[in-house]
Every structure is written in structure tokens, then in C-alpha cells.
Structure 1
């Protein structure tokens, strides 16, 4: 639904990113009467949730990502104060003393007093890490949303112990397929989540190379933490190396890791969701940060401090 701009041509808020954080921001903004435009590069809201088959840390009774995504989408569709633009990418964000301008790949230019950027993160590739070597021209799928392949029995090899590993194992709880998880020292703490799963063999190492082998299998050679070498064969290999922030170009200010903490941004640009930090990448923290960001813009436009007293307190 198109939102009618105010007489000055602005809406109250531009939201870039239609995941849980961006959608929560849109809903919170609408609840206090703010008009917003939500821009999402994908073809659906909360597209990444569609790949999370099992959810176990979200309040409200949802146990699957697709169900949660569908309900969030219905909530956003019910408000007439948010215009949703799907399949549209922000190609630039500019900020001035009193407003923010967002340029879209359609050529449209949006302006508002504030913008919330919640574009999240994308998966790292084999080229992004130093401990892994993949044979030339070999493209490995990510574990995110993967299904257990059919065919001959044999172990699956997962490269990296990032959080999608636990989601994958919960989604396939009835499968007895063996999973070998090869991971570098930086992933040691992440492996704790799956250490007790009897299907999992943990392989802490310093280097690994993988190449195609006979009969549609894969051969891996590795060096462990004690400088011992070994080999293994797997029927499928998945990348699970972690993620990197995906901010749109323009006025956002990343830190040394590429993330965009809210406290370092222009006063009229707020970041929310996974884009803020690598430490709080959860659905619940994303929705909370999106809601908080929307309220901050509301209080700012009312000339009220974000934490008030008496009747202004939340």
C-alpha cells in the first residue's frame, strides 16, 4: 500500500531492510502514528527466516521460521502507515542536519527525518577465510537452509561451527546421518552448542583443503591443532563459516569489523538487527532493536528524550 507523504514530500521514517528488525521498526512506527517506507531487496519480507526450519528461542509459540515469517508479513500488511517496496535495493544513503535521503535502484529518492538501516549480514565464502582451501571452480553450498542429501550413506562435512549448525541439526532431528564439523580456533565456543549431539564429530583444526573425488564424493585433507595431518571422504560439503555485515553504501559508519554500531552513526541514521554487532544475531534481539530504533525516532521528532519520566516513560 502506498503511503501518502506529508505536504513537504517526506514520510516520517525510511526503513532499509525487511527482516525481523525492519518489520518490527515498521510496526512500532505505525503504532505511534508514524508513516514509513520499508525497502527490502528480496522478494519477500523476512526471507532468511524461510530457511530456518526449527526455531527454539522465540517468544510467542513459533517453532519454525517460515511460520514466523508469514505472521510477521501479515502484521506489516495490516497497517496502512507503512509502504513496503519489495525487490528494491538501496544504492545510497545521505544524511544532512535535518533529514536523510535514500536512493533506490529504481531511481526513486526517498527523504525522511530519520532512517533505520537493518540490512543484516550475508554468509562468508571460502575466499574470506585463511584456513580453508577449495579446489578451483568448485562451488560449495551454505549450510543455511540445507537439506540432507539422498544417495549412499556417508558423513556430511560442515566447514565451520557457526550458529546455523545447531539449527540444521534441530531441523533434521530424526536423521541419524553422521556430521563431521571442521572448524578453526575462533569457532571453539560455537561448537559447544552441538558438542553433545551423538551424530556430530568435532574436528578442531588449523587448515583444511577440499576437492571433488570419485562417485560424487569429496576428499578433504586437514591439519589439526597438534600439527597432525589426516584425510576424510564426505558425500556432501557445506560452508558454515560465519557472516559479514551488508550495509548499503553511503553515510553509514562501520567499525573495524565492518559492523555499524548505533552509537557511532549520524544522529538521523539508526542501525538495528544483525547489522549492529556479531554478538547479538538472534531473532528476538533483532525485533527488539528495530522496535527501539523506531521509538527513538518518534521521541526525537517529538523533541523528547528517548528515556523519559512520568507520562513519557515506556
Structure 2
């Protein structure tokens, strides 16, 4: 969008372009005929690479963002400092870990992959323990409609509304619980002790465990205003800092809204610069 109105930009990305999109195997809320993440990622990457108005800085991470009356300054981990009239911040969110959920007790050093990283060979003929009832479960089931798998979805009462779309899938067993004690894996089996809402205790066993407990915002240090959950409300920021995508709020974490907010951010910077 910035290039289309004649603006030059620098895109700072610590990993590959659209890296998360390549893990999204099914899309049902994006216009343009895209049915999976890789298709959309290829299209976006092609657009970025086709313009000489966007300089792409791959493999770099922003370590500080500062806003001044007439410009912003971004410091990279290399020590380089970039300045511009505006900064669009779209660093998004990262997956929470078991230690971040008060309804899960887990070994302190245990980390698990989010469900959106699961692939067919993880699921075929196996039982998956999924912690939390967040949206990627429905995406996974739609992506692999014929996969012979069983999903044990352990979730707290606060996730009740999230599991409605998967409730009738025969591959899913819903386990609404008050607490889950996740043990250190021993051998090929994942074991957990579940405390149900009726006070009953049960043992849960699975071949592999994945996370679907939600995400937490990721943003560099600097001149940002954050709410109590770590998100950066757009209306609270310095006029030269524009927030786009999932970093805005937990309520609008969708690809379609993220793309729209990115376009809006570019136009906001364009009109502000033109009128200054």
C-alpha cells in the first residue's frame, strides 16, 4: 500500500517473509481465492519483491523504538539506527507456554509447540493432547479432514465459547477441567493429571502434546504505550507510531483484519506526511 501511493519503506523482519503463513494450512476468511497460508504468503512475497520502493531487511530484529516530534528512530540488534517520519509496528504475537497459564502446572523448562505447527505425520493414527481451546484447533481439523487422529482438548471454563466449532467433530474429545498437571515426558507417551470441574481426577495419555492456549503480544522496548495485557492500543500511541495487525488487541487477531490494518497504517503515514 505504501508503494502504491509513492512512499518508500523499509521492512524489518527477523526471519523469513510471511513465515507464520506457511504453517496455516487452511484459510476461510481471506478474499482473493486463497485457501491456504502458503498461497497467500507467495502472493505477498511476490508483491514485496516486485517493487523497488520497499527495502527488505531480513535477519534483523528491532531492539528499540523511539519517537520524536519530527521523526522516529529504530535501533537494530546490529547497532544500526534507522530514522523515518513514521513507524508502523506490526510485530504481532507469540504463542504462550504452559507456564503462562494459571490452570496448568508443568515442569519449569518444558516448552511445547503451538498446534498450528502440527503436520499430518504428527497426527495420522495418533492421539494428540491439545492444551487450550483456542481457534487453531478448528483450522487444523479443516486442513486435514480425512486424517485418522484423536484430539484430547483440555481447556478451562473460560475457553468454553471457543470450542463450539469443534464440539461435533467425532475426532475431538473435549475435557473441560479446572486444572491440569502436565508431567515430564517419559518415553513415547505424554501423561497428565486432570482435575475436572466436578472435582474428579483422571489420567490423560497421548502420543504428543500441542498448545492452543492463546498468544501474547511481542513488541520492542521504547516509546510504546501498552495495556495490562501487553497490547499496544493504536489510539494511545505517539502520533508517529502506528500500530497494525495482531499487536492492536486480542479481539482482532485475524489475517483479513491484519492485512486491512496494515494498508490503513500506510495510508495514515502517507496523509500525515503529505499534510505536514
Is the TM value for this pair above 0.5? yes
Per-residue Cα deviation, 1:261-306 (whole angstroms, up to 9, x for no partner): 11000010000000000011111000000000111111111228xx
1:282 maps onto 2:254 in alignment: yes
Residue number in structure 1 paired with 2:11: 38
Alignment of 1:5-20 (within 5 A): none
Deviation at 1:247, TM superposition (A): 0.7
Q: C-alpha separation between the residues in 1 aligned to 2:18 and 2:109? A: 31
1:141 maps onto 2:126 in alignment: no
Summarize the Cα distance change of 1:176–1:79 in structure 2 as closer, same or farther, 3 Å threshold.
Answer: same
Q: C-alpha separation between the residues in 2 aligned to 1:152 and 1:115? A: 44
Structure having the higher Rg: 1
Residue number in structure 2 paired with 1:91: 63
- The answer as to whether partners of 2:123 and 2:149 remain within 8 angstroms in 1 is no
Alignment of 1:203-282 (within 5 A): 203-212=175-184, 216-282=188-254
| 1:47 aligned counterpart, secondary structure | coil
Q: C-alpha separation between the residues in 2 aligned to 1:271 and 1:175? A: 39
Residue number in structure 2 paired with 1:127: 99
Summarize the Cα distance change of 1:152–1:257 in structure 2 as closer, same or farther, 3 Å threshold.
Answer: closer
Summarize the Cα distance change of 1:299–1:151 in structure 2 as closer, same or farther, 3 Å threshold.
Answer: closer
- The answer as to whether partners of 2:124 and 2:149 remain within 8 angstroms in 1 is no
Q: Flag structure 1 segments of 5+ consecutive residues without an equivalent.
A: 1-27, 305-314
Aligned positions, number: 276
Q: Pick one of 99, 103, 109 that aligns with 2:81.
A: 109
Per-residue Cα deviation, 1:74-105 (whole angstroms, up to 9, x for no partner): 00111111101011111111111111011111
1:167 maps onto 2:132 in alignment: no
- Structure 1 residue runs of 4 or more that deviate by more than 4 Å after TM superposition: 148-154, 212-215
| 1:298 aligned counterpart, secondary structure | helix
- The answer as to whether partners of 1:149 and 1:236 remain within 8 angstroms in 2 is no
- The answer as to whether partners of 2:124 and 2:147 remain within 8 angstroms in 1 is no
- The answer as to whether partners of 1:140 and 1:239 remain within 8 angstroms in 2 is yes
| 2:149 aligned counterpart, secondary structure | coil
Q: CA RMSD in A?
A: 1.7
TM-score (norm 1): 0.84
- The answer as to whether partners of 2:133 and 2:153 remain within 8 angstroms in 1 is yes
